[in-house]
Amino acid sequence: MKKLIALFMLSGILMFPVTTKAQVADQDAADDTTEVVEQAAPTPAAPVVVDDEIIEEDKGFHQVIKEKFIEGDPTYMSPVLICLILGLAVAIERIITLNLSTTNTKKLLARVEEALEQGGIEAAKDVTKNTKGPVASIFTQGLMRYSEGIEMVEKSIIAYGSVEMGRLEKGLVWISLFISLAPMLGFMGTVIGMIGAFDAIEAAGDISPSLVAGGIKIALLTTVAGLIVAIILQLFYNYCVSKIDSLVNDMEDASISLVDILVKHKLTK
């Protein structure tokens, strides 16, 4: 009997650690599985609104312009774009030409006076012929009539000054044309878009925002495009006009100074 009791107790002691180790092993496996699941769990997706905002921020200016151009219907937006391209081409050409025509009149007058004192009229002609700009061209025409008297010099300067002014104003009429034409084309797109919207209402027999939205959107986009083109070209036009006025004033002042120098040279000769 004692042997049976001792054998039973010994078997219980041996079974207890085995059971405990199995439980610990099962618990460790469960913890490892939990960590793996936590590590493998994907990060929560960002809200759709945030994604939309990021997409909008990533769009470049040229992409936005392209989208609005397509939304406004290329049929009506293309003529406005052509006005912008042609108007800018003429304006840039005029700006470059006018800047190259600018002359330091004070320096030129000093050189002409020095040439008159040292080499006479021929030396002064060489100075003006080798100088670019409308002022130098006017001086050359005046010096060529010096032998006919001061009055002929003045008349020659006035006549050739009008010719040079016409050359400076060349091309401005085209810029003015595109400034007027661009808003007109935009308004034409507006009217056509509104006509399309009312046709859609008539065909459907009901006024629905979805029916008129497309036509009204085209109308507004074409109008805005035409006004933007006119504003841009108007800025270039005003710059060219102000530059021409400045050159004309320099031409008039320099012409008066040249006549005074010639009178002085004739009296002291």
Question: Please, is 255 exposed, middle or buried when counting C-beta atoms within 10 Å of its C-beta (0-12, 13-18, 19+)?
Answer: buried
d(CA 153, CA 124): 14
Query: Does 174 score more than 90 pLDDT?
Result: yes
Average the pLDDT over 93-121 and give the result: 86
Question: Confidence band (pLDDT; 50, 70, 90) for 253?
Answer: confident
Give the pLDDT band (50/70/90) at residue 34.
very low
Q: Is residue 1 scored above 80 in pLDDT?
A: no
> 61-101: per-residue pLDDT in tens?
667 777 776 766 677 788 899 999 999 999 999 999 999 88
Q: Identify the top-confidence range among 33-42, 162-171, 215-224.
A: 162-171
**Amino acid (1-letter code) at residue 72:** G
CA distance 233 to 179: 6
End-to-end CA distance of the chain: 161
Q: What's residue 269's pLDDT?
A: 56
Q: Reply yes or no on whether the pLDDT at 11 is more than 70.
A: no
Assign 47 to helix, strand or coil: coil
Give how far Cα 55 sits from Cα of 72, 83, 120, 124, 234, Å. Answer: 22, 32, 74, 68, 35
Higher pLDDT pick, 191 / 54:
191
Region 3-25: what's the mean pLDDT? 44
Q: What percent of the chain has pLDDT over 70?
A: 70
Q: Which amino acid belongs to residue 253?
A: D
| Number of C-beta neighbours around residue 162 at 10 A | 9
pLDDT for 210 equals: 65
Question: Which residues lie closer than 8 Å to 111 by C-beta, 6 or more apart?
Answer: 127
* SS3 category, 94: helix
Checking if the pLDDT of 228 tops 70, the result is yes
Give the list of residues 6+ apart from residue 161 with CB closer than 8 angstroms, or none: 138, 251, 252, 255
Q: How far apart are CA 164 and CA 96, in angstroms?
A: 16
What is residue 49's predicted lDDT score, i.e. its pLDDT? 46
- Give residue 51's identity as a one-letter amino acid code: D
Half-sphere exposure of 205 (CA within 13 A, CB side): 0
Task: Report whether pLDDT(211) > 70.
Answer: no
